[in-house]
Amino acid sequence: QKEVEQDPGPLSVPEGAIVSLNCTYSNSAFQYFMWYRQYSRKGPELLMYTYSSGNKEDGRFTAQVDKSSKYISLFIRDSQPSDSATYLCAMSADKIIFGKGTRLHILP
Amino acid sequence: DGGITQSPKYLFRKEGQNVTLSCEQNLNHDAMYWYRQDPGQGLRLIYYSQIVNDFQKGDIAEGYSVSREKKESFPLTVTSAQKNPTAFYLCASSRTGTGAGKNYGYTFGSGTRLTVV
């Protein structure tokens, strides 16, 4: 079983829809959970950072961590074409492990 | 503004050549990292350094070398021993934490796309 599993997509949704992106993991030692956004031919940028379980909200973005289920989610409300990118989950205990990324397309 | 600068943006290498990718940061971060990104494979760690004059191999270090002579700089050399070097290379940096498990998010550069010709 891989440490971090993430569906590669692509995921296509119409503009204005709510997007749900998810990752599962196997290492119960993970304490820090992150989401990165990567536009084509660019480096990833840190979008959300969460410690332990719970929710964190920042504008249209909400990150959820359920440590009991080893499952993390990123929700994007009122999705925009500019949200089209690859989203990578990442988590760490002593070092950061990245998911392979989900490609998201927001259709105008 | 603080950030990480990678150069060049595009690099072409002939068979048998060594090439060096530059990575400079002005964030005063102690730790720096090199990743390789291939389609469908995600980010794979090549080398990392948590302090000047010290670095460790990551998961795919064969055919690569690094140096960390200055806090701000972490160049990566792709040697002729790397059989499949065509990829997108990303440099990142982070603060280092104290205490077990403390970690901070990474700041990434814009990447260097290396192609073998």
- pLDDT given at position B101: 43
Q: Rounded to an integer, what distance in angstroms lies between the CA atom of residue B64 and that of residue B50? A: 18
Q: Rounded to an integer, what distance in angstroms lies between the CA atom of residue B18 and that of residue B64? A: 9
- pLDDT given at position B97: 59
Tell me if B103 and A95 make a contact (CB, 8 A cut-off).
yes
**B2 has pLDDT over 80:** no
Tell me if B105 and A101 make a contact (CB, 8 A cut-off).
no
Tell me if A88 and B107 make a contact (CB, 8 A cut-off).
no
CA-based nearest residue in chain B for residue A30: B101
- pLDDT given at position B100: 40
How many Cβ atoms sit within 10 Å of the Cβ of residue A61?
A: 17
Q: Rounded to an integer, what distance in angstroms lies between the CA atom of residue B83 and that of residue B63? A: 8
Tell me if B103 and A43 make a contact (CB, 8 A cut-off).
no
Q: Which of A98, A102, A103 to mutate to test the interface with B (most CBs of B within 10 A)?
A: A98
Q: How sure is the predictor about B103, in pLDDT bands with cuts at 50, 70 and 90?
A: low
- pLDDT given at position A67: 93
Q: Rounded to an integer, what distance in angstroms lies between the CA atom of residue A55 and that of residue A53? A: 7
- pLDDT given at position B102: 52
Question: E strand or H helix at A45, and its extent?
Answer: strand A45-51
How many Cβ atoms sit within 10 Å of the Cβ of residue A20?
A: 13
Contact residues, A window 44-83, toward B, CB-based 8 Å cutoff: 44-46, 49
For B25, residues 6+ apart whose C-beta sits below 8 A from its C-beta are B2, B3, B4, B5, B32, B72, B74, B91, B93, B107
- pLDDT given at position B99: 43
Mean pLDDT across B94-116: 78
Residues of chain A falling short of pLDDT 70: 1
Cβ–Cβ contact B101 with A under 8 A = yes
Is-contact B63 B73, C-beta < 8 A? no
Tell me if B43 and A42 make a contact (CB, 8 A cut-off).
no
Q: What angle do CA A54, A58, A64 make, to 5 degrees?
A: 25
- pLDDT given at position B105: 82
- CA A98 centroid distance within chain: 10
**B98 has pLDDT over 80:** no
Is-contact A65 A50, C-beta < 8 A? yes
